[in-house]
A and B are shown apart, each in its own frame.
Chain A
Amino acid sequence: MANFNIDATKERTFQAIVIGSGMSGSWAAKELCEHGVKTLVIERGRDVKHIKDYPTTNMLPYEFEHRGQIPQAVQEENPVVSRCYAFKEDAQHFFVKDKEHPYVQEKPFDWIRGYQVGGKSLLWARQVQRISDLDFEGPSRDGFAVDWPIRYKDIEPWYSHVEKFVGVSGNKDGLPNLPDGEFLPGFPLNVVEQYFADQLKKHYGNDRHMILARCAHITGNLDYYAKQGRAKCQSRNLCQRGCPFGGYFSANSSTIPWAERTGNMTMRTDAVVHSIIYDEEKGKATGVRIVDAHTKELEEYYADVIFVNAAALNTNLILLNSTSNRFPNGLGNDNGLLGKFVAFHNYRAGVSAQYEGHLEYTTQGGRPTSGYFPRFRNLHKQETDFLRGYAAGFSASRGTYSDQNSIGMELKESLLNPDKYGPWHVGSHMMGETIPKESNYVALDPNQKDAWGIPLLKVNVDYDDNDEKMIKDYQEQMTEMFEKAGFTNIRLRDDKRAPGLDIHEMGGVRMGKDPKTSLLNANHQLHSVSNVYVTDGASMTSTATQNPSLTYMAFAARAAHHAMTGLK
C-alpha cells in the first residue's frame, strides 16, 4: 500500500505544471518541453486535435442547417455568448455556453470563453501588433496604475522568437508606436485603403498612419512551417472553424503538437483546477489540485514550478481560490490587490461611410486581415482631456449585388447574375485603451459554486468618464479623417456593448516593481511565491491599445526561460 502511494505520487509529479492550453499556456509548454522539462499541461475542457476535431472545417454553406445562424432557442438560453461576432453555427462548439458555466455579473460583462485544448486560440481574430515603450511607459508618464517593471528591450527578443514560430504576415512600417517584427510577406491593401493611407499622409504628415494590420498567418518561408505540419494561408476566412492547413496560428496546430513531439509533455484534459497547493514549510507552491470534470473527484499533481495561464479572469479565480494559512485571501495576495485593476479594450464605437471614387475598381479573393490605425492620440505628450488613446481597424470593400425588387424569372435572372456595383463601403472600429482601476475587479462569490464546487466569479467592471471622452474623440477624429478623404454618408456607432465582448480582458494579477502595489515581478513570478508564474492577460499592468495575444505569448516564452534557469 505504501509503495502504491509512493508510485502514485511519483506518477503525478512533474518538473513543471502549466494550467491552461491556450495561447499563452501552450507557449509556456512548448518552451519548457523543447528544453527537456517534463511538463504537465492541465486543461479544463476536452481535447481538440488539429484537423480531426474541426468538424465543420470543410463544410459548404448549404450544409449548415440554418446557413450559419444560431437558432432562437439557443440564443435565448445563451444571451452572452450569442453577442459574440464569431458565435455562429460553424464555430459554436468551441464556445462556452452561458448556462454551462455561470458567473455573477455585478455589472454587465460579456465573458467569452473557450474551454478546450487550444482555448480561444482557435477562435481569435489573429491580429498581432507589438506594444512599444510608448505603452510600457504610459502608467508612469500619465500617473495611473503602477509602472511596468519591464520595457520594450526586455520583451523585444521574445516577440521575435514568437513571431518567427507562429508566422506573422505584415509590412515593416518603421513606426515608433508599433515596432516592426519578423514579418512574412504582407497581404495587399486594396485601392481605396491605399488611397486613404495616402490621404492621411497628405493631411497629417507623419502623425497619423493607416497600415496593413499584422496577422498570425503564414504567407512565406513555407519549408520552415512544414516542420510544424502547417502550410500557407489559403485566405479561406473560415479560421474560427479550425484551419486544416494550419494557415493561422492556433495552439492546436502549432505549439501543442510541437510540445507533444518532444515526449516531455503530458496533457491532462477535462480537469478543472480547484487551487494551487502551497507548502508553508517549503515556502513555495508544490502542486495543483484539480476536479475531474466528469467524475468530480479531486486529484493532485505536483511540480517544482507552476505556470498559471488559464486566461485572464480564470487565472484570477484560481489564485483567489488558492487559500492557505499563509495566504488566506488567495495565493500571493499579501496586499489585497489580487483581482483588482482589471481592464479591457473599449470596442464600443465605429464609424462607417461610403466612397464614390475609384469606381472603376473592385476586389477579388479573400484576405484574413485588414487595415490598422496605430494609436496617434497622446503619443508623445498629453494633448487631450482624456488619458491615452485608441487604435482602430479600417477596411474598404466593394462587391456586386443584384436587384431583388421583382419576383419570378426577373428576380431569378437578377440573382444569378449579380452585376451591380454600389459605392465602396469603408468602416472603422475603435480599440481604446482603458485605465486599470481598483474599482474594476473580480472576486469570488462567497455563496454560489459551480458544478465542480468552485466558487463562481463575480465580475464588477465598467466604463468610466475617460472611456466616454475617448469614444467621442474617436468618432470626431475619424469623421474628420473620412471627410478629408472625401468619404460621404458618414455614420457613427456606439453600440453600448458591455465590457468583455472585446475579449481582451486583462489584469488583476498585475506586474510591478513593488510587492506592496503589484502581484508579479519583472519575471512574471508572484512576488511572494517565486515558483508560480502568471504570463497571460492577468499579468498586464496596463492594456495599451494593441491586440494583446502576441504579448502574452512573448511573456510566456520569456518567463519559461527564466523558470528553466531555476530548474537547472
Chain B
Amino acid sequence: MKRRDALRSLALLTGGLVLVPSCDFSKEDILGAYQNLEITPTLKQLLAEIADTIIPAGNLKGAADIEVQDFILVMVNDCMEKEAQQIFMSGLKGFDDFSKKSTRDKFEKLSQEQRETLVLEGLSTEDESQQVIKNFLRTTKRFTIQGFMVSEYMQTEVKPYSLIPGEYKGDVLIAELKPERING
C-alpha cells in the first residue's frame, strides 16, 4: 500500500518518471520505484507485452489491462534474492535479442500468434545459451498468473472472493457440483 502511495505521489511530482542522475544522457531514465532493479519505461512496456501474451484480453480483461507488470516488478524487486533479480533483469534486457534471433523482429512488432509461439519457445528451450531467457519467462509467467488471479479485478468483478467460505462439508459429491463456466 505504502509503495503504491509513494508511487502515486512520485508520479505526480515527476510526471511518471523518477530521474536518476546519469552522466550518459543517451540513456533512458530509470524508474525509481523498483530500487533493486534498473527498469526503464521501455523495459516495463516490454514486460507488459509479455505478460499480456501469457494472459491476453478477450471477453475479460488481460494482464496488461490490469497492469500486472507493476505487480511482477514489485515481487521481483521485494521478494526475490539478488541473484534471481539479476537473472530476471538479464532475461528482460536480453528478450528483444532473443526475439530478433528467432523471428528477426523485436517483440513489439510481432503478431499475438507470433508472440505466443516465441514465449512458448523460450519457456521450453533446452538451449544452454537461452537458460536466462527461460528462467526470466518462468518467473514472469508465475507472477503473471498470481498477479492476474489475485487482483482486485478478478476478486471483485469476475470471481468475487468471500472472506467467509461457508461451513465445512467433508463429503460433497463432485457429480452434483455444477460449476458455472467463465468465458475468458
Contact = CB atoms under 8 A, between A and B. Distances in A.
Interface of A: 58, 60-63, 65-67, 69, 71-73, 187-191, 193-194, 234-238, 360-367, 404, 407-409, 411-413, 415-417, 419, 421
Interface string B159-184: 10101111111111111010101111
B119 A407 contact: yes
Nearest to B62: A412
A190 B167 CA distance: 12
B152 interface: yes
A565 B12 CA distance: 68
B14 to A, nearest CB: 21
Given A360-B175, A416-B158, A72 B81 contact: yes
Interface string B49-93: 000011110101010000000000011001111000000000000
B53 A407 contact: yes
B171 A361 contact: yes
Contacts of A189: 170
Contacts, number: 134
A188 B74 contact: no
A62 B150 CA distance: 5
Contacts of A360: 173-175
A61 B168 CA distance: 21
A238 B148 CA distance: 22
A421 B158 CA distance: 22
Interface in B132-170: 141, 145-146, 148-152, 154-156, 158-159, 161, 163-170
A565 B149 CA distance: 60
B177 to A, nearest CB: 8
Contacts of A58: 163
A132 B46 CA distance: 64
B171 A238 contact: no
Contact of B1 (A65, A238, A364): A65
Closest 3 CB pairs of A and B: A190-B170, A367-B168, A412-B184
B1 A72 contact: no
Contacts of A366: 165-166, 168
Which of B55, B62, B120, B151 has the most chain A CB within a 10 Å cutoff?
B55
Contacts of A365: 165-169
Interface of B: 1-4, 53-56, 58, 60, 62, 74-75, 78-81, 112, 116, 119-120, 123, 141, 145-146, 148-152, 154-156, 158-159, 161, 163-175, 177, 179, 181-184
B79 A72 contact: yes
Contacts of A234: 164
B152 A62 contact: yes
Given A66-B75, A66-B79, A407-B119, A362 B172 contact: yes
A73 B169 CA distance: 40
A65 B3 contact: yes
A61 B150 contact: yes
A502 B43 CA distance: 45
22 contacts: A60-B161, A61-B161, A62-B151, A66-B79, A189-B170, A190-B168, A191-B171, A194-B170, A236-B164, A363-B168, A363-B171, A364-B166, A365-B165, A365-B167, A365-B168, A408-B54, A409-B58, A412-B56, A412-B58, A416-B159, A417-B182, A421-B174
A366 B164 CA distance: 8
B140 to A, nearest CB: 10
B172 A361 contact: yes
Nearest to B54: A407
A363 B169 contact: yes
Nearest to A232: B167
Among B54, B156, B165, find the residue whose CB has the most chain A CB atoms closer than 10 A: B165
Contacts of B55: 407-408, 411-412, 415
A9 to B, nearest CB: 46
A381 to B, nearest CB: 36
Contacts of A69: 75, 79
Contacts of B159: 416
B165 A415 contact: no
Contact of B172 (A71, A187, A236, A364): A364
Contacts of A235: 164-168
A393 B152 CA distance: 35
B58 to A, nearest CB: 6
Given A62-B150, A407-B116, A415-B149, A238 B172 contact: no
Contacts of A66: 74-75, 78-79
Given A408-B56, A416-B158, 10 more contacts: A58-B163, A60-B163, A65-B78, A71-B79, A190-B170, A236-B164, A237-B165, A360-B173, A407-B55, A411-B54
